[in-house]
Amino acid sequence: MINMNNLSEMLIENPVIAAVRNDEDLENVLTSRAQIVFILYGNILNIGDVCVKLKNVDKTIFVHADMIDGLRGDMAGMQFIKKYAEPDGIITTKVNCIKYAKRLGLKTILRIFIIDSLSIKTGVKNITETQPNAVEVMPGVASKALEKMKHETNVPIIAGGLVDKKKEVMDALSAGATAVSTTAKEIWEM
């Protein structure tokens, strides 16, 4: 088991995190080298059993509180997770869940979806207000998504959000975008 006192060190030592979405993924992660596991599925009836399986093989567990069926993102919901699932921490997109989980002594990861400059501003505000132990920024690889969409569809793709440099325009076009939308006036002149 990894020392949870310093989540930063734990992440540096274990940079690949297994994100588990179903029972098949769970069975595979039990024998994998991945030490840190994000549980992205389950319900209030089985989340405790999922966590026990992972604890039995000394995995570090973070439950995505927003994805557990039957669980509310309130203080009672976080108390339920701590008491019945006993993970090392939670992941959530909700700032209140971060606050409640921290009060209960759980490690916290705030998941943020970055789609444009406003979402960055909102994300920074939420991080500053809640001080989670870590932040998960999504998507991690936008060019991969563009390539996949271009390959699997026959529709023009417009890449938008956070594009404010010529290189970013070129990267998006190279990845399969047909065009790029941007609020950066200097890019309009390209």
pLDDT tens for the chain, 190 residues long, are 445 568 888 888 888 899 999 999 999 999 999 999 999 999 999 999 999 999 999 999 999 999 999 999 999 999 999 999 999 999 999 999 999 999 999 999 999 988 888 888 999 999 999 999 999 888 766 777 788 878 888 788 888 888 889 998 998 899 888 888 877 778 887 7
CATH architecture of 7-138: Alpha-Beta Barrel (3.20)
Q: Which of 182, 176, 183 is closest to 156 using CA atoms?
A: 176
* Assigned token pair, 153: 């569809």
Kindly report, as residue ranges, where domains of CATH 3.20.20.70 are found in the chain. 7-138
Using N-to-C axis directions, what is the helix angle for 117-130 and 95-103, rounded to 10°?
20
pLDDT (0 to 100) of residue 82: 98
For 21, 57, 74, 131, the CA distances from 127, given in Å and listed in that order, are 26, 32, 19, 5
Work out the end-to-end distance of the chain between its first and last CA atoms, rounded to an integer number of angstroms.
Answer: 53
User: Measured between alpha carbons, how far is 122 from 100 in angstroms, rounded to an integer?
Assistant: 20
77/70 Cα distance (integer angstroms): 9
**Closest Cα partner for 74 from 95, 97, 94, 90?**
97
Residue environment code for 140-152, b if the CB has 16+ CB neighbours within 10 A, otherwise e: eebbeebbeebee
Closest by alpha carbon to 179, among 146, 148, 151?
146
pLDDT of residue 1: 47
